[in-house]
């Protein structure tokens, strides 16, 4: 299948696009940029409300990237920054791992019942950190002898 036969379909009006033949001497990145420019024009022209959302998300992404250059003592700002990170992270994820999926995968391990809940909780905690749902749990404090306090 050549790039000429790949179809791109608009998610709002079902119009389809092809990249068209490459221009003489045109490399793949330039051809991709030409395609993207056409899609942007389509969105701006035929779906202005969606285009406004794209622009607003772009401004929010810029603001988020800007505030990542600062260390905040204000817990509200720390939380705000973390919530923005979570929103962007989720919007970029192709797949979401929900609790039911984790339980199903752990059940396939056929663990003794006394371990199953602990493994599920561990996987959920790891998922939460990796998907920016929650920060890593703090390690319990230990005294100099290594006893957990
Ligand atoms: Zn469209």
pLDDT averaged over 10-residue windows placed end to end, the chain, 149 residues: 75 88 78 90 97 94 94 92 86 88 96 94 90 68 54
Closest by CA position to 4, among listed 33, 31, 40: 31
pLDDT at 2: 59
Report whether 133 contacts 83 (CB < 8 A): no
pLDDT at 111: 95
| Ligand 1 center to 46 CA (angstroms) | 6
| Ligand 1 center to 146 CA (angstroms) | 62
pLDDT at 23: 75
| Ligand 1 center to 17 CA (angstroms) | 10
pLDDT at 146: 53
Cα torsion 31, 33, 36, 37 to 10°: value is -110
> What are the structure tokens assigned to 146, written together?
């290594």
Q: Is 106 exposed, middle or buried (0-12, 13-18, 19+ CB in 10 A)?
A: buried
Residues lining ion ligand 1 (Cβ < 5 A) are 10, 12-13, 15, 46
| Ligand 1 center to 45 CA (angstroms) | 9
| Ligand 1 center to 55 CA (angstroms) | 17
| Ligand 1 center to 98 CA (angstroms) | 32
């Amino acid at each position: 299948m050549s790039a000429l036969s790949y179809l791109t379909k608009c998610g709002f009006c079902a119009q389809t696009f092809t990249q068209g033949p490459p221009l003489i001497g045109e490399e793949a990145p330039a051809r991709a940029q030409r395609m993207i420019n056409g899609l942007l024009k389509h969105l701006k022209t035929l779906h202005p409300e969606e285009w406004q959302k794209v622009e607003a998300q772009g401004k929010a992404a810029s603001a988020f990237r800007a505030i990542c250059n600062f260390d905040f003592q204000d817990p509200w700002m720390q939380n705000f920054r973390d919530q923005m990170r979570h929103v962007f992270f989720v919007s970029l994820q192709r797949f979401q791992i929900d609790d039911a999926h984790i339980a199903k995968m752990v059940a396939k391990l056929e663990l003794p019942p006394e371990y199953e809940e602990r493994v599920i909780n561990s996987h959920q905690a790891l998922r939460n950190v990796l998907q920016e749902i929650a920060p890593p749990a703090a390690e319990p404090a230990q005294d100099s002898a290594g006893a957990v306090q």
